Structure 1
C-alpha cells in the first residue's frame, strides 16, 4: 500500500514515514475496499454475478483506483451480456492506468472483431425494440425480437428475463421455467430471476394439484375387495350394453363434432400463423425502410455540408474577385501606379486613380505586404503634390464663398499630406464661415495640437475664443 500524498510505501504505523501524512483512515478505507473486492471475486467465482456487481461497485466507491476491481467488474458485465457497461469500465480503467493494464487486451478482443461488435450492437438494438413492442402491447413481435437477440448473444441476462416474463404473461409456465433455468446458469443469485422462478413454481404446483385431484377422482370409480389371496376390482355403475343403434349414432355424432372441432381449432391456428408471418414480413420491410431513411438522411446531411462548403468558397471567391474584392483593389492600385508612371505631372488624373482604391480593402489580410508597400510608397511620392493641388483648389473655393466644395477639397488635401497645416487651418475657417461651429472648433483644436508654436496655432486659439464667446 502506498501513501496517497507522496506515493511512498506505507509501514505498520498510522503515518507516512516519508512525508508524515496521517494515513490511518486511508488504510481503513483501502482495507474495506479490498474486502469488497475479495467478496466480489468470490461471488464471481460461483457465478453470483449480481452479488459480484454490488460488491465491486461498493469497492470502487471507496477506491476508484482499484484497477483489478474495475477490470473484474467489466468482465462480470460482459458475462451478463451488458457489453456497453463492460466497455465503459475497461475504458475508465485504461484512462486511470494507461500502462500494463489488461483492460487493453479486453478492449482489443472486442474491437478487433468487427462482426462480433456489430452483432452485439444489433442485439442491444433489437432488445430495445422488444421493449418498445412490449409497451405498445405487441407481445408476439416482442417474442420474435427476443429470440433473435438470444440467437446473437445467448448470455444476455435481461433478454432471458424479459422472454420468461412474456411466457409467464401467456401462462406458458414450462417455457418460462426453461428460460429462468438459463438465467440461473448465467447468474445464480439474481433477485429478479429468483422472484420469477418462485412465481413459476407456484403456478406449476397448482396445476399439478389439479391433475392429482382428477386422478384421485378417477381411481374412486372402482370397488376393491379381497377374496382369499386375490384382489377383486369391480367398476361402479357398469351397465350392460343394449342392442340398439345408439352407438352408431354416437359414432357419427362424434365424427361430426371432431370435424367441427378440427375446423374451429386448426383454422384459427393457421390464421394466427399467417398473421405472425405477415407481421414478420412487415417488420422486415419496416427495418429496411428505416435503413433507407437513415441512408437518405445521411446523404442529405452530406449534401447540406457540401452546399455550405460551396457557399463558403463562393463567399471567399467573392472577396477576391468581386466588385470590391481583393483582385479589384489590386487592379485599381496597379492602375494608379501606371497613371503616375505615364503622366507624373497630371496630379488630377493621379488623384482620381488613387481615390478609386478601396482604402479599407488595402488594410485587410487578403492584400499581400508587397501591394501594401507599393500603395504606401505611391502615397509618399505623390501625396504632397496632390495635397498641394487640393489646397489651392480648396482655398480658391473658400475665397469665392463656396464653402461646401472648399471643405471637400481641403479634407482631401489633408488626407494626402498630414503635414499640410495650411490646408487644415483653412478647413477650420471654411467650417467657421459655413456656420458649423462644432466641426470648426474640432479642426482648430487639431491645428493647435499638431502644429504648436506656429502662427496658425495662435490664430486658431483666437478663433476658438471667438467661437466660445
Structure 2
C-alpha cells in the first residue's frame, strides 16, 4: 500500500514512515475497498453478476484506482452483454495504468475485430429500435427486433428481460418463463429477473382456490386437475364400484359371443378362400420359375464380367493415384469446398483440408490444373480473412503462452493469407528470435522495418536486430 501524500510504501504503523502523515483512516478505506472487491469476485464466480456489480462499484467508490476491481467490473458487464459499459471501464483502467494492464488485451479483443464491432453496433441499434417500438405500443415489432438482438448477442440480459416482459404483457407465460430461465443462467440473482419469474410462476401454477372447499358427507368424488395453457382443467371421476363390475361383465360376454360367431360362421369361409388364393399363387410361381432360371444364369454371367472389369479398373485407378497427385489434390480441394458449403463458419474444418493440400508440397503442385488453381484461389479469396483471423488468434495465443513451436506455423499461415497483417509478421519474427533462429528473425525484422516504418513494431524490430548483431 502506497502513502497518498508522499508515495512511500506504508508499514504496519498508522503513520507514514516517510512523511509522518496519519494514514489510519486511509488504510481502513483501502481495506474496505479490497473487501468489497473480494466480495464482488466471489459473487461473480457463482454468476451473481448483479450482486458483483454492486460490490465492485462500492469498491471503486472507496478507491477509484483499484485496477483489478475496474477490470473485473468490465468483465462482468461484458458477460451480461453490456459491451459499451465494459469498454468504458477498461478504457478508464488503461488510462490509470498505461503499462502492464490486462485491460489492453480486453480492448484489443473487441476493437481489433471489425466483425465484432459491427455486431455490437447492430445490437445497440436494434435494441434501441425495440425500445422505440415499445413506446409506440408495437409489441410484435419489438419482439422481432429483440430476437435479432439476441441472435447477435445471446448474453444480453436486458434484451432477455424486455422480451420476457413483452411475453408477459401478451400472456405468453411459457415463452416468458424460458426467457427468464436464460437470464438466470447468465445472472443468477438479478432482482428484475426474479421479480418477473415470481409473477410468471404464479400464473403457470394451478389454482388452488378449491383445495379447502367442504366436501359433502358420504361423498367419494375424486378429481384430476392439470394446467393447459392459461386454463386449469378439472376432470371429475364419478365412476362407482358397481358400475365398474357390471361394465367388465358386459365386456366379457361380448368377447365370448364375438369369438363364437367368428369360429362357427366366418372362419371356415375365410380358410377356404385363403387356400384357393394360395393354390393360384403357386401355379403362377411354377410357370415363372423356368423363365427366371434362364434369366438368372444370364445375369450371373454379366455380373462375373462386370466384376472382372471392376477389378481391372481398380488396379488402373490405384496405379494412377500412386504416380500422379492430381486426383488426391482435387479430392482434398473438393472436401474443403464441401466443408465451406455445408458450414461457412466452420473455419477449423476448412483450414484442416487446406493444410493437407499444402503438405503435399511441390510434387503435387506439378499436377494441379488451371481449373484446380482457379477454384483454390476463389476459395482462399472467400475465406481468406477468416482463415487469417483463425490462424492469428491461435498463433498469438501460443506466442503469449511461450509455445513458439506452435506459434510459428500459425503466424506464418496468418501472414500468408493477409500479407498486410503486420502484427502477425512481427510476432513471427519474435517467435524465431526467442527460439534462437536469428537468421530468420533478422530477415523478418528487416521486413517489418521496411514495411511499417515509424511504428512501435519497427522500433522493437530495430532493438532486436541490435541485440542479434551485438550477440554475434
TM-score by length of 2: 0.47
Larger Rg: 1
TM-score by length of 1: 0.47
